Amino acid sequence: MTQAKPRSPKTSRKGKATGKSTGENRAVGFPEGLTEQDLLNSYRQMVLVRKTDERVWMMNRQGKVPIAASCQGHEAAQLGSLLAAQQDGDCFLFPYYRDLAIKMMVGLSPTQVMLSFMGKVGEPYSGARQFPLQGADLEHRVIQISNVVGAGLTQAVGYALGCRMLGDDTVVLAYLGDGATSQGETHEAMNFAGVHRLPVVFVCENNRYAISVPQSLQMAITDVASRAEGYGFPGVVVDGMDLVQSYQATREGIKHARSQGPVFLEMKVERLMPHTTDDDDRRYRGDDEVEQARLRDPLVTFPAYLKEQGILTDQEAEEINAEAQRAVNEATDVAEAASPPDASDMLSHVYAP
């Protein structure tokens, strides 16, 4: 497993969240802050998200879901960071379009998610005006307005500024892909957050592809986390295929953000599917590359780790998978039978009253 590397002398996390290998953690028992129940629950979530992701992709091929951006390969990074945010209890999330696991597991039901992908009444983010799960889920403290990469980051930083002005203790988690790191507004967001030491954790899910453009054509550096130093805050490289490491790095990141200001976490992940259902990645990725990536699929490695730790048995894993499949099947049936919005709805909410 890749060790997380603290990138700035300012960070004091060495030897805590990121300096220890998971091997050492296994040897001494449990990673700090986590219980068996947490890990089992994360596995349940991971399976449910994967079944949902596979289902919507299939339904796209059936003509029932117009578009989907798969999070396959990003689940460990997303669910690990979400677990840290949920444990903290006072985080506000600005995810990006590939964050299905985050948006679902903040508290949406599989049915709500399926309604969203099918554009039906009950869609929780935008009333089915936007792409699936895009808009705002304020009940669960989540905002993602648009598909312009980087645009959500200055908004996230502004949200953190607003929280500080009102005396909140909230930490904002702002998610981005590696593609967004090229955008000018990403620089502006990180610069402003650094100047004002705002409580923001930037979580970059680096899958090395901006749609088809590889990392080598996006940046001249190996680790985008190294840019953080230029903004005056720490950048940390994390193995985003490892849920425990993703959790620990985010947990430390949240603490740091609240007490000292921004942190940049670069979670190295694999994109196991094309960019979206409209993409064909065979035009720019070799079969071998994706096959190799699948060996590190968190849906393979995480249950193996849990079994090795004696937390999960084969039978429990089967039950968890069967339960998730049932939930997704039921949600699909409900969503298929649900009504689409009435056409008259098209004119509402152009302006706030």
> Considering the complex, what minimum distance in angstroms separates the CB of residue 287 from another protein?
38
Using CA atoms, how far apart are residues 152 and 156, in angstroms rounded to an integer? 6
Check residue 130 for interaction with another protein (CB under 8 A).
yes
- The SS3 assignment for 268 reads strand
Binding flag, residue 11, another protein (CB under 8 A): no
Number of residues that bind another protein (CB under 8 A): 41
Nearer to another protein, 5 or 129 (CB): 129
Q: Is residue 67 near another protein by the rule CB under 8 A? A: no
Which range touches another protein (CB under 8 A), out of 10-18, 71-79, 146-154, 211-219? 146-154
By beta-carbon proximity to another protein, the closer residue of 185 and 279 is 185
Residue 182 engages another protein in binding (rule: CB under 8 A):
no
Instruction: Name the residue nearer to another protein (CB basis): 43 or 159.
Output: 159
Strand partners, 143: 136
- Segment contacting another protein (CB under 8 A): 66-74, 160-168, 224-232, 289-297? 160-168
DSSP string for 119-184: T-TT-TTTTTSSSTT-EEEGGGTEEE--SSTTHHHHHHHHHHHHHHHTT---EEEEEEETGGGGSH
H/E stretch holding 213 reads strand 213-214
Min dist CB 153 to another protein, Å, is: 8
- The nearest distance, CB 42 to another protein, in angstroms, is 28
Q: Which two tokens stand for residue 13?
A: 């996390």
What whole-number distance in Å separates Cα of residue 36 and Cα of residue 244?
A: 12
Is the Cβ–Cβ distance between 84 and 247 less than 8 Å?
yes
Distance of alpha carbon 173 from alpha carbon 94, whole angstroms: 6
Residue number with CB closer to another protein (138 or 211): 138
Among 125, 175, 233, 302, binds another protein (CB under 8 A): 125
> Which ranges constitute the DSSP H helices of 261-351?
287-294, 298-308, 314-337
Q: Which stretch binds another protein (CB under 8 A): 6-14, 121-129, 280-288, 319-327?
A: 121-129
Instruction: Decide whether 190 or 324 has the Cβ nearer to another protein.
Output: 190
Q: Is 54 left (phi over 0), alpha (psi -120 to 50) or beta?
A: alpha
Closest CA to 70 of 251, 250, 225, 276: 276
User: CA-to-CA distance for 104 and 95, rounded, in angstroms?
Assistant: 11
Q: Looking at 128-136, 210-218, 255-263, 315-323, which segment touches another protein (CB under 8 A)?
A: 128-136
Residue 230 Cβ vs another protein, minimum distance, rounded to whole Å = 14
Name the DSSP letter for residue 77: H
What is the binding site for another protein (CB under 8 A)?
A: 125-127, 129-130, 134-136, 138, 143, 145-146, 148, 151, 153-166, 184-185, 188-189, 191-192, 195, 348-353
